[in-house]
Amino acid sequence: MPEIIKFSPAPSLFGFGSLAKLPEELESRRFRRILIITDPQIAASGILQRVLDLLKGSFDVELFDGAPSEPHGVDVDREGARFGSHFDTLLGLGGGSSMDFAKALSIIITHSGSLGDYAGEGTVPGPVVPIVCVPTTSGTGSQSTQTAVFTVEGIKSGCSSEYIRPVFSIVDPELTMGLPSLLTRNSGYDALMHAIESFIACPSARVEERPILYQGSNPFSRALALEAFRSIWSSYFKAVSDGDDREARRGMSIGSHLAGIAFSHSGLGLVHALASSLGGMLEAPHGVCLAACTNIGLGFNLKACENDLASLDGVTDEIDGAGSTRGSAERFLSNIQVIIRKLNFPSRPSDLGIKKEDALTLLNKTLVQTRRIKTNPRPLGEELLSFIEKGI
């Protein structure tokens, strides 16, 4: 039977100054009653006011500016009880948390219940209030994806459904120019790992229980992931060290956006599963948890995706001007650890306070991350516990 791949990216506008097109895009879809979802930092930064000024006089706007940095299901449930379903659209303005909050809230105000009821894949029963996204970071790529991430009962989980993929997004790198170095670092590492894990994901033809929303790596996702990786690798250090570097900010914006499209079709893998589990245990930023889990996750997967990792290493050589004739998977993993050290990330879970006796807890929380591990390039087996114990 021929392989069937579903490819369904949402429309988007990209480029410096593209935010100015927001009213036109909303009007073209006949959206008039808008609930803006953002966080206190964006509300205080001036970005929110720019959006409000653009919409003034033409739209009926309500505002929720209390989106938390690491949303829990109960946070969304509480606001779902407060807001009705009379909006034409929910506009997520900010980083991944604000955009995910908008997606999650759209589920609750449309279908009621508790957000935990919708964890997993394909659990949303029907269309929701449409979501529009305007990212202000270059990280999660949530403006590209059909997923909202949240914590329920100590486990960082999420909901994936094509019903919550944004109907359109505006990716304006100008909005990231004032992003602090630490947030640039954390969000950028998320984008980098999206590109890597999407590229090395289990090939779609080998993913069991198809069709699923995360289909495994395929020609569409691999091309996007590779270009995303190239763009991020070229821009990441520059954007962290000099937030006013417009070309670096543009590179991170396009890289995170492409990586989001890529992984929303391919799925991710063990590094994200471990990091989501660790984040639920610690309430630490997602990018920080990813860095701490990278050596365990990529080390476990090394032999299953050696050629793909070597290909990524070849890209880094090309960008960095190393002049090597052949990529190396082992060297690639070593270079990722160099990035982690140079950017002062934790390199292992113990740097965040996790102890070796916590290994089994981390494993068990990881094994329930079925959205992630279905597309991991190597099946998870008994050896994983020893990898975690050594990696802690």
Q: Which pLDDT score, from 0 to 100, does residue 80 have?
A: 84
Q: Which pLDDT score, from 0 to 100, does residue 319 have?
A: 86
Ramachandran bin of 378, using left for φ above 0, alpha for ψ from -120 to 50, beta for the remaining angles: beta
DSSP line for 17-79: TGGGGHHHHHHHTT--EEEEE--HHHHHHSHHHHHHHHHTTTSEEEEE----SS-BHHHHHHH
Q: Which pLDDT score, from 0 to 100, does residue 70 have?
A: 80
Q: Which pLDDT score, from 0 to 100, does residue 205 have?
A: 62
Structure tokens of 68?
A: 């938390």
Burial of 331 per CB tally in 10 Å (0-12, 13-18, 19+): middle
In whole angstroms, give the CA distance from residue 260 to residue 3: 23
Phi, psi torsion values for 45, nearest 5 degrees = -85, -15
Structure tokens of 92?
A: 């997520």
Q: Which pLDDT score, from 0 to 100, does residue 69 have?
A: 84
Return the residue matching tokens 């290909």. 311
| Residue type for position 146 | Q
Q: By the 8 A CB rule, do 290 and 263 touch?
A: no
Q: Which pLDDT score, from 0 to 100, does residue 2 have?
A: 46
Helix (H, G, I), strand (E, B) or coil at 170: strand
Nearest 5°: the CA angle 205, 212, 107 is 160
Q: Which pLDDT score, from 0 to 100, does residue 324 have?
A: 63
Per-residue model confidence as pLDDT tens for the chain (392 residues) = 347 888 889 999 999 999 999 999 999 999 999 999 999 999 998 999 999 999 999 999 999 999 988 888 888 988 888 887 789 999 999 999 999 999 999 999 999 999 889 988 889 999 999 999 999 999 999 999 999 988 777 777 788 999 999 999 999 999 999 899 999 999 999 999 999 999 999 987 676 655 468 889 999 999 999 999 999 999 999 999 999 999 999 999 999 999 999 999 999 999 999 999 898 888 788 999 999 999 999 999 999 999 999 999 999 988 877 666 678 999 999 999 999 999 999 999 999 999 999 999 999 999 888 878 889 999 998 799 999 999 98
Domains in the chain, CATH or no CATH each: 12-175 (3.40.50.1970), 179-391 (1.20.1090.10)
